[in-house]
Chains A and B, each alone.
Chain A
Amino acid sequence: EAGVTQFPSHSVIEKGQTVTLRCDPISGHDNLYWYRRVMGKEIKFLLHFVKESKQDESGMPNNRFLAERTGGTYSTLKVQPAELEDSGVYFCASSHRIKGAVGYTFGSGTRLTVV
């Protein structure tokens, strides 16, 4: 089966611009998660979708970040306007509804650089 696909793989934008990251989960996976790793720090949870509903968005840093999962398929994470501290690697993961964390598959990540 196809894995979790993220694009772009790299993005370099200027401070104040808008960037949209996309994640295509494994087909049939209701759970979709976003995580972020800022340089040198731990990978941190951002939010969790179950189908199209936000189950937990406690990790979203501020209202400049907007995540959507229309139709319960792919998800987008928009950063508007981007700040320097938003630089990092953004990971997406998906899992089957009954498996949760034990069934995670991660994507390769999007490396975002804000200059």
Chain B
Amino acid sequence: AQSVTQLGSHVSVSEGALVLLRCNYSSSVPPYLFWYVQYPNQGLQLLLKYTSAATLVKGINGFEAEFKKSETSFHLTKPSAHMSDAAEYFCAVSVTDFGNEKLTFGTGTRLTIIP
């Protein structure tokens, strides 16, 4: 079974400051890891994904995440926050077994950007 823990249901950062959203996972098999973003009144949009290639993954809108197996972490970062980054962010894990591709999500982190 897999699980995801997102530390901090709400995170506030100043515009221009570093964004760090934390995600730890548990999986009995090699995982695929994902970050999704949900802007107000919109659906879930994929930010980036780790699929066992490079451990540092770059996504859209300047976000990146690093897979650290020893720490079972997949934290999301962005060097400089922009007002448009205000949204809810979800970390998710999936197993690599073909035919069993359901996602297990964390509880989400709402990011607020302070002008």
Which single member of A41, A101, A108, A109 contacts B103 (CB below 8 Å)?
A: A101
**Is A1 engaged at the interface, CB distance under 8 Å to the other chain?**
no
**Is B100 engaged at the interface, CB distance under 8 Å to the other chain?**
yes
Is B43's CB under 8 angstroms from A45's CB? Answer: no
Minimum Cβ distance to chain A for residue B41 (Å)? 8
Minimum Cβ distance to chain B for residue A80 (Å)? 24
Q: What is the size, in residues, of chain A's interface with B at 8 Å between Cβ atoms?
A: 26
- By beta carbon, the residue of chain A nearest B44 is A106
Q: A101-B34, A102-B32, A108-B42 are in contact. Are A33 and B102 (CB under 8 A)?
A: yes
Q: Bound state CA distance, A48 and B45, in angstroms?
A: 19
**Is A104 engaged at the interface, CB distance under 8 Å to the other chain?**
yes
Q: Bound state CA distance, A31 and B102, in angstroms?
A: 10
Which residue among A33, A56, A91, A102 has the maximum number of chain B CB atoms within 10 Å of its CB?
A102
Is B101's CB under 8 angstroms from A95's CB? Answer: yes
Q: A42-B105, A44-B105 are in contact. Are A106 and B32 (CB under 8 A)?
A: no
**Is A8 engaged at the interface, CB distance under 8 Å to the other chain?**
no
What are the residues of chain B within 8 A of A107 when measuring CB–CB?
43
Q: Bound state CA distance, A17 and B46, in angstroms?
A: 34
What are the residues of chain B within 8 A of A101 when measuring CB–CB?
32, 34, 94, 101-103
